Amino acid sequence: MNFIFDGFFQAIHLLTTGNAETYSAIIVTVKVSSYSIGMSLLMGIPLGFCLGYFDFVGKKSVRTIVDTLMALPTVFVGLLVYALLTHRGPLGNIGLLFTLPGIAIGQTILALPIVTGLTATAIEGLDKKLRIAILSMGANRRQLFLSSLWESRHGILAGAIAAYGRVMTEVGISMMVGGNIKWHTRTITTAIALETNKGQFGMGVALGLVLLAIAFCVNLSVSLLRKR
């Protein structure tokens, strides 16, 4: 049990002294997860609104597909994106393999179904009379869209949090597409896996504590927004 306590003390030392390798993984993780969650929200919220608000042929089938994709294995997504971005793939000439944008593409694919599905669920939960009430006040389509999103904001926030947690803690995409390159594409989760296997338990604990701190800050921010 001593190695566990030693690991915690070493973790505190690494975080308080500003260890460059530790903070490099933290910065990379924050950057790439911010890119991916931003893209998934920009695409997923309008798609989720359309899926939850409108009735169309094949809607149930589309909804089933979206719900299924919410549980996509990260390793499968990593394999798919790697196949697209490798020099033998159709997008190999772009040069995104083993880069942060490449990881962000994979994480966007991972988060997009979550944002879309949970936004659709939030829209479906709105009062059916809301549309009539909004339109009766002379609202146009844009105002109808924005008003519906505002009324379902808590559900959309829950979807955003779930998606953010998913991309922050994934390993497969970061490892396969990013290559776990030190000082370049190494994220918190890939660093934890690598350093723990090397016996560097302290750095693994330090990065794990950072993940918990980020999750706490995100949830605290959402709670404050809800109170306002």
Nearest of 54, 216, 41, 224 to residue 118 by alpha carbon: 41
Structure tokens at 106: 């994979």
5, part of any domain: no
Is pLDDT above 70 for 4? no
Is 77 in contact with 69 (CB distance < 8 Å)?
Answer: no
Distances (CA, A) of 125 to 54, 129, 184: 13, 12, 43
7, part of any domain: no
Q: By 3-state DSSP, what share of the chain in percent is helix, strand and coil, each rounded to 5? A: 80, 0, 20
Pinpoint the alpha helices (H) of 17-98.
20-53, 59-69, 74-85
16, part of any domain: no
Nearest of 171, 70, 49, 175 to residue 112 by alpha carbon: 70
Give mean pLDDT, residues 148-166. Answer: 88
- pLDDT top residue among 3 and 177: 177
Separation CA 127–CA 151 (nearest Å): 10
Nearest of 198, 146, 189 to residue 28 by alpha carbon: 189
Is pLDDT above 80 for 84? yes
pLDDT band at 35 (very low <50, low <70, confident <90, very high): very high
Instruction: Identify residue 109 by its one-letter amino acid code.
Output: I
Q: Would you give the distance in Å from CA 69 to the centre of its chain?
A: 14
160, part of any domain: yes
Q: Give me the CATH number covering residue 46.
A: 1.10.3720.10
- Owning domain of residue 223: 22-227
Which tens digit of pLDDT belongs to each residue from 41-73? 999 999 999 999 888 899 999 999 999 999 889
Q: Is the four-CA dihedral 45, 48, 53, 57 of positive or negative sign?
A: positive
Q: What is the mean pLDDT of the chain?
A: 87
Nearest of 161, 160, 164 to residue 48 by alpha carbon: 160
pLDDT band at 9 (very low <50, low <70, confident <90, very high): confident
Separation CA 199–CA 166 (nearest Å): 26
213, part of any domain: yes
- Residue 225 is predicted with a pLDDT of 67
- pLDDT top residue among 207 and 1: 207
Give 134-137's long-range contacts (Cβ < 8 A, gap of 24+).
none
Q: Domains in the chain: how many in total?
A: 1
126, part of any domain: yes
Nearest of 179, 137, 149, 146 to residue 52 by alpha carbon: 149
Structure tokens at 216: 């706490």
Is pLDDT above 70 for 194? yes
223, part of any domain: yes
Which tens digit of pLDDT belongs to each residue from 94-149? 889 999 999 999 999 999 999 999 999 999 888 777 777 777 777 787 888 888 88
4, part of any domain: no
Separation CA 228–CA 157 (nearest Å): 14
- Residue 75 is predicted with a pLDDT of 92
- Residue 102 is predicted with a pLDDT of 94
